[in-house]
């Protein structure tokens, strides 16, 4: 049985980690400010779906594939950093769509982001190994806690989307400054991955 204080610490860690700026949250915010909620929905669903699948992968890794984990994380670290860097550049140079464009963000873009988002891999595995595995290494327990993490992460991303809806008109006027701030935040994510 996992003690209550350990569960409390797990939840605090999960909420703080999920709500801090990360590639998924920043991409969601940028997408909703550029395209609006309706056109951004496919990307948001991709982010959410990818988040759950990555957390399930983390549970399986922690459960039994720990010998493979260091090699895959080493590769994912650089692939993830490169993708996030590309995303930062893309956001920095993007501008709001002119007029009534039919362009929308894709499910695949949001989904793929989560598979190279090193932050959520490290988040999931750190949460399990730091709070849960001392009390249980059952696959079902690990899966349960990773699904809790993914749910908290989804709520956090929805919060970032809501902020984007609220600032959409401001964004239209000040998109360059906002995009630069978002890009710099993503560059900090790249730096923290590679340091």
The 8-class DSSP code of residue 133 comes to: T
pTM higher than 0.85, yes or no? no
| Residue 188 phi, psi dihedral angles, 5° rounding | -65, -35
The confidence band for 73, taking pLDDT boundaries of 50, 70 and 90, is very low
Instruction: Say how far apart CA 188 and CA 21 lie, in whole Å.
Output: 10
**So where are the chain's domains?**
4-194
- Number of C-beta neighbours around residue 122 at 10 A: 18
pLDDT at 75: 61
pLDDT at 62: 82
If we measure between CA atoms, which residue out of 175, 28, 37, 181 comes closest to residue 98? 175
More confident residue, 96 or 4: 4
Average pLDDT estimate for 89-114: 75
pLDDT at 111: 93
More confident residue, 83 or 173: 173
| Residue 40 phi, psi dihedral angles, 5° rounding | -85, -10
pLDDT at 128 exceeding the cut of 80: yes
More confident residue, 133 or 155: 155
């Amino acid at each position: 049985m996992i003690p209550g204080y350990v569960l409390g610490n797990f939840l605090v860690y999960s909420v703080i980690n999920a709500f801090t700026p990360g590639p998924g949250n920043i991409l969601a915010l940028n997408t909703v400010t550029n395209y609006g909620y309706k056109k951004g929905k496919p990307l948001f669903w991709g982010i959410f779906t990818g988040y759950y699948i990555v957390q399930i992968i983390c549970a399986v890794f922690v459960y039994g594939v720990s010998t493979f984990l260091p090699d895959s994380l080493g590769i994912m670290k650089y692939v993830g950093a490169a993708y996030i860097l590309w995303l930062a550049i893309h956001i920095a140079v993007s501008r709001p769509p002119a007029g009534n464009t039919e362009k929308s963000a894709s499910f695949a873009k949001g989904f793929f982001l989560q598979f190279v988002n090193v932050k959520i891999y490290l988040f999931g595995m750190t949460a399990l190994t730091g709070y849960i595995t001392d009390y249980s290494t059952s696959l079902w327990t690990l899966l349960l806690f990773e699904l809790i993490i993914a749910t908290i992460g989804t709520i956090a991303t929805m919060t970032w989307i809501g902020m984007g809806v609220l600032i959409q008109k401001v964004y239209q006027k000040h998109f360059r400054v906002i995009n630069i701030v978002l890009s710099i935040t993503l560059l900090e994510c790249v730096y923290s991955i590679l340091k």
